[in-house]
Chain A
Amino acid sequence: MSDVRRAGRIVRWERIVAKRTFTTGSVRRVLGFVFIAIFFVSMALATVAPFFAGRESEGARNDFLFMLSLFGGAFLLYMQMLLMYNRIVIASSELLLTAPINGRTVLMARVAGGFRLSLLYAAAGLPLVIAYGMASHVLAVYYPLAVLFLVLESVMITALSLVIVMLLMVVLRRKISRDFLAVVSSVLAAAIFIAPRLFAFGRMGAAMSGQFWQGAAFYVLPFMWFARGLIALSGGAAVTVLYAVLSLLVTGASLALSLWIGQRSLHERLTRMTDEKDVQRRRKRRAAPARSPAGATLAAMDQTHAAVDRMQAPASPTRATMNEIQTAMDQTHAPGGQAWTTVKETQDAENSMQPLVSSARDRARTRWRIPAAVLAIGKKDLLRLKRTPGDLVSYLFPTIYLLYFLLQPSSSAGQSIIALVPLFLLVLTSTMGRIPIASFGIEGEQIWIYMQSPVTVNRLIGGKWLYSSIPTFLWWELLAILLGVLRAASHPLIGVLMVTGLWLVPSATALTLPFAVHGAAFKARRVGQRNVYVTRASGFYLLVLLPYLLVQSAAAAVASLPFLPLSLSLGWLTSGDPVWRVAIGLGVSLLLAVAASFVGWSMSTEAWRSKIVLLLQAGSLD
């Protein structure tokens, strides 16, 4: 039997398994359809708006097309690299590897799904193709040819991502972690997107002319071929055929190279990588700082003393209680088996001090202090995020995308900036949902830890809120500072942006959390399998967050209009005292944020209560 047929059989079996694993009811299917429709409408808004903003200028249109071609290509490469990695390395191949199947067959079976997904990504580019055709007044024959060309380019980029992952596997003599690959792929994609811009940095200040991308250096970039082919096609030129042939050649060569590498080394690499996990674990353990048990115990005892000292200070306990503590602490130094009893007594004594915290100031301090459980949950999740660069780099793309637009030459500001608002909103919405939406799902089956411990709903939600707000808040502030540093915005506008972030980010996070709870996939993390944090249900947060940010942007616009380089006449919004406009704008924005936070918090607690009722009844996480 040929490798292709074997691979086909594996794919069919895996599809059956997947179908039974991810079952969806009819209601969910309808909701999914609605969601996909909204996603495509948003994408259409984001890509079509700039075309209509610059519809009078062919140069501006072409520049935007080149930019989107480059960005879309870089983004697709990034996504497909991660996907290919998941399919080739992460997905459990142990069963296949025990069978008499060669690496080439395993590889073909694994990558088949990746190519299917590239068609989905191609579909996201359809509005762009249509909008460009309409703005350029092309013949009807343009549309089907352009769609075919779009599919071909998506498949080519998928093949390129496959060959890069395979080369990395062969070249690197170590196990590739998902985090490492996420960093590599995002840096690569960012370089693809930014580098052409940097090469022509001298022209940054010039108005878009349509000539910017015509330099010889850019012809070799496959990510530009889509734009070149489309522009040529709109003019009826046969150059598109050349790019189509080139794309086919690159796709074929990439696939052949990948399969050749796979045939030679995939089986061996995957087997070796499984062994390396054990080796790495042993190595890391050896590298851990050795501590002498005695030293550690002494240090621990010091900490206990310190803790008791801290307890003593504000509460001013009675002499008798202090003596009990001291006695217990003395006993703590008793050897061996008494440690449990003595420390228990110490803590019993500490607990007995609680009623002594009685002064009004102490009560107020206790009331307004963030509970330890909230801080612990937030800190734990932040540590996880810090140690998972793969999740952290997800901020990179939106940042680059926003900066790219915000750093446009001033001559293209004004009306086109207004036209880009839907696009900005889409990027902001997606970014603000990134961390919060997975905040509950990342717990996996460890969610039982919260359910078996005395953590109240409010503290759990509070911890997640804290964790989810901090990274996005820092991202927001950094973006504002970058804008200021790069002189793309006036300082008062930066000030308005930074201040607004104080309440905009936490309130947007609060609105996202109910969807995070509802869509959390509390599944056991399995070694050798891709972790799923959220179900598709969580994606509906866009339906709430997008309108919220739209309303907020209206309020923020009132505050920021005096600082924008616009000469629009919008009635009282652009006339009158700017100080009042700023105050009113910020005030309305703050009120909206308070209301959104309250609604988000209430919905989150309700969603969590429903979730735990389900979990407590079913006792299962799956």
Chain B
Amino acid sequence: MLRAEHLHKEFGSNVAVDDVTLSLREGELFGFLGPNGAGKTTTIRLMTGLLTPSSGRVWVGDADLQREPIAAKRLLGYVPDRPLVYEKLTGREFVRFMAALYELPKGAEAIAEKWFADFDLLDAADSLIATYSHGMKQKISLIGQLVHRPKVLLLDEPTVGLDPKGARTLRNALRQFCDEGLTILISTHLLPVAEMMCDRVGIMDKGRLIAQGTIPELQKVYQTDAGLEDLFLRLTDDGKGDASDWT
């Protein structure tokens, strides 16, 4: 459903993303892990069309993101780490606005009412977003991205700023969306959460995707019984990313 091939991005002399290739199946929940500055956000932005790659291609479904950006973007949803919302709109108005941007038929945003309830936003749905807390803005940003029924959803640190209940609701909702066929890529630092809910994970370090697969697959490749946290720390530790050192 989402394919990236040999993605490469340079900012001046700095290589932010180096030859990243990955493919996500329909209904898959993919965890995108890596230390700060590893290039996760840049890769996600390349895959949402918010950055132009120096080289490499991205396909969303059958649409090439570079050649058919409009068709590809219709299938995409992206929730960045800092919520993108209009503070002078109410929650409902924002969702209606997003529905109109995707040119959905009038009334299509009604689907969002369920998520307003699920995310405890019903009481605040008619208040200006300026009065929302960071977590509430994060939730309304997510609802705004779900309203056009994307096929692929990319979330960059979505649980930052969410209270425990909100974080659990989000996790459950994401799992449920995947079960219903939505493909999700989630970038997170919460390794236990990634271990618990993701079908596969990818680990980035210094702009390169150094490992990807299910956790048992990674354990097999690197011949270890260590959990995801140990795997992550060993892989992203300088000079110790080579599996041969571990055996």
A contact residues vs B (CB 8 Å cutoff): 280-281, 284-285, 288-291, 293, 296-297, 299-301, 303-304, 306-308, 310-311, 337, 339-341, 343-344, 347, 350, 371-373, 375-377, 379-380, 383-384, 387-388, 445-446, 448-456, 524-525, 613, 616-619
Question: In the complex where A372-B103, A380-B89 touch, is A452 in contact with B73 (Cβ < 8 A)?
Answer: yes
Q: Which residues of B54-104 have CB atoms within 8 Å of chain A's CB atoms?
A: 69-71, 73-74, 76, 78, 80, 82, 84-89, 93, 96-98, 100-104
Contact B88 A340 (CB under 8 A): no
CB-nearest residue of chain A to B70: A454
> With a CB–CB cut-off of 8 A, which chain A residues contact B97?
376, 379-380
20 other A-B residue contacts (CB within 8 Å) besides A448-B84, A616-B51: A281-B133, A290-B123, A300-B114, A303-B107, A304-B111, A306-B107, A307-B108, A339-B114, A344-B149, A350-B108, A373-B101, A376-B101, A380-B97, A388-B88, A448-B80, A451-B49, A451-B50, A452-B50, A453-B101, A454-B102
CB-nearest residue of chain B to A385: B88
Contact A343 B88 (CB under 8 A): no
Cβ of B19 within 8 Å of any chain A Cβ, yes or no, is: no
> With a CB–CB cut-off of 8 A, which chain A residues contact B181?
341
Contact A284 B131 (CB under 8 A): yes
Interface flags, B103-123, vs A, CB<8A=1, else 0: 111111011111011000011
Contact B123 A372 (CB under 8 A): no
Contact A280 B131 (CB under 8 A): yes
Say which residue of B52, B86, B93 sits within 8 Å of A446 (CB atoms): B86
Contact A289 B131 (CB under 8 A): no
Least CB distance, B99 to chain A, in whole angstroms = 8
Cβ of B246 within 8 Å of any chain A Cβ, yes or no, is: no
User: Bound complex: CA of A594 vs CA of B100, how far in Å?
Assistant: 29
> With a CB–CB cut-off of 8 A, which chain B residues contact A373?
100-101, 103
B contact residues vs A (CB 8 Å cutoff): 11, 42, 45, 48-52, 69-71, 73-74, 76, 78, 80, 82, 84-89, 93, 96-98, 100-108, 110-114, 116-117, 122-128, 131-133, 149, 176-177, 180-181
Contact B73 A291 (CB under 8 A): no
Contact B117 A285 (CB under 8 A): no
CB-nearest residue of chain B to A343: B111
> With a CB–CB cut-off of 8 A, which chain A residues contact B85?
446
User: Bound complex: CA of A334 vs CA of B98, how far in Å?
Assistant: 26
Least CB distance, A530 to chain B, in whole angstroms = 15
Contact A619 B50 (CB under 8 A): yes
Contact B117 A297 (CB under 8 A): yes
Contact A350 B105 (CB under 8 A): yes
CB-nearest residue of chain B to A282: B131
User: Bound complex: CA of A154 vs CA of B176, how far in Å?
Assistant: 65
Say which residue of B48, B70, B100 sits within 8 Å of A376 (CB atoms): B100
Looking at B76, B84, B128, the one whose CB has the most chain A CB atoms below 10 A away is: B84
Ordered by A's residue number, 5 sampled pairs between the chains whose C-beta atoms are within 8 Å are A347-B104, A380-B89, A452-B48, A524-B82, A616-B50
Contact B131 A281 (CB under 8 A): yes
Least CB distance, B165 to chain A, in whole angstroms = 16
Say which residue of B78, B105, B113 sits within 8 Å of A297 (CB atoms): B113
A-B contact count (CB 8 A): 152
The 9 closest A-B pairs by CB, nearest first: A307-B107, A376-B100, A300-B110, A300-B113, A384-B88, A293-B117, A303-B107, A616-B52, A303-B110
Contact B126 A289 (CB under 8 A): yes
> With a CB–CB cut-off of 8 A, which chain B residues contact A296?
113, 116-117, 122
User: Bound complex: CA of A3 vs CA of B220, how far in Å?
Assistant: 68
> With a CB–CB cut-off of 8 A, which chain A residues contact B52?
613, 616-617
Chain A residues touching B, majority SS = helix
User: Bound complex: CA of A179 vs CA of B101, how far in Å?
Assistant: 29
Contact B82 A445 (CB under 8 A): yes
Question: In the complex where A297-B114, A452-B49, A452-B50 touch, is A307 in contact with B86 (Cβ < 8 A)?
Answer: no
Least CB distance, B39 to chain A, in whole angstroms = 12
Least CB distance, B158 to chain A, in whole angstroms = 15
Contact B123 A291 (CB under 8 A): yes
User: Bound complex: CA of A293 vs CA of B124, how far in Å?
Assistant: 12
> With a CB–CB cut-off of 8 A, which chain A residues contact B51?
616-617, 619
Contact A304 B122 (CB under 8 A): no
CB-nearest residue of chain B to A453: B101
Contact A311 B82 (CB under 8 A): no
Say which residue of A337, A344, A619 sits within 8 Å of B45 (CB atoms): A619
Say which residue of A284, A337, A350, A376 sits within 8 Å of B176 (CB atoms): A337
User: Bound complex: CA of A387 vs CA of B89, how far in Å?
Assistant: 9
User: Bound complex: CA of A524 vs CA of B52, how far in Å?
Assistant: 21
User: Bound complex: CA of A343 vs CA of B128, how far in Å?
Assistant: 27
> With a CB–CB cut-off of 8 A, which chain A residues contact B132?
281
> With a CB–CB cut-off of 8 A, which chain B residues contact A291?
122-123, 125
Least CB distance, B236 to chain A, in whole angstroms = 23
Least CB distance, B61 to chain A, in whole angstroms = 13
Least CB distance, A158 to chain B, in whole angstroms = 31
Question: In the complex where A285-B127, A372-B100, A445-B84 touch, is A347 in contact with B108 (Cβ < 8 A)?
Answer: yes
Say which residue of A281, A308, A387 sits within 8 Å of B88 (CB atoms): A387
Contact B84 A454 (CB under 8 A): no
Contact B180 A307 (CB under 8 A): no
Contact B101 A449 (CB under 8 A): yes
User: Bound complex: CA of A284 vs CA of B125, how far in Å?
Assistant: 12
User: Bound complex: CA of A246 vs CA of B205, how far in Å?
Assistant: 69
> With a CB–CB cut-off of 8 A, which chain B residues contact A387?
88, 128
Least CB distance, B94 to chain A, in whole angstroms = 9
Contact A380 B131 (CB under 8 A): no
> With a CB–CB cut-off of 8 A, which chain B residues contact A616?
49-52
User: Bound complex: CA of A616 vs CA of B108, how far in Å?
Assistant: 31
> With a CB–CB cut-off of 8 A, which chain B residues contact A451?
49-50
Contact A340 B125 (CB under 8 A): no
Question: In the complex where A291-B123, A291-B125, A383-B93 touch, is A310 in contact with B105 (Cβ < 8 A)?
Answer: yes
> With a CB–CB cut-off of 8 A, which chain B residues contact A299?
110, 113
> With a CB–CB cut-off of 8 A, which chain A residues contact B176?
337, 340
User: Bound complex: CA of A344 vs CA of B147, how far in Å?
Assistant: 10
Least CB distance, A352 to chain B, in whole angstroms = 13
CB-nearest residue of chain A to B116: A296
Say which residue of B48, B86, B98, B113 sits within 8 Å of A384 (CB atoms): B86
Least CB distance, A387 to chain B, in whole angstroms = 5
> With a CB–CB cut-off of 8 A, which chain A residues contact B128?
284, 387
Contact B87 A380 (CB under 8 A): no
Contact A452 B103 (CB under 8 A): no
> With a CB–CB cut-off of 8 A, which chain B residues contact A380?
86, 89, 93, 97
> With a CB–CB cut-off of 8 A, which chain B residues contact A285?
123-124, 127, 131
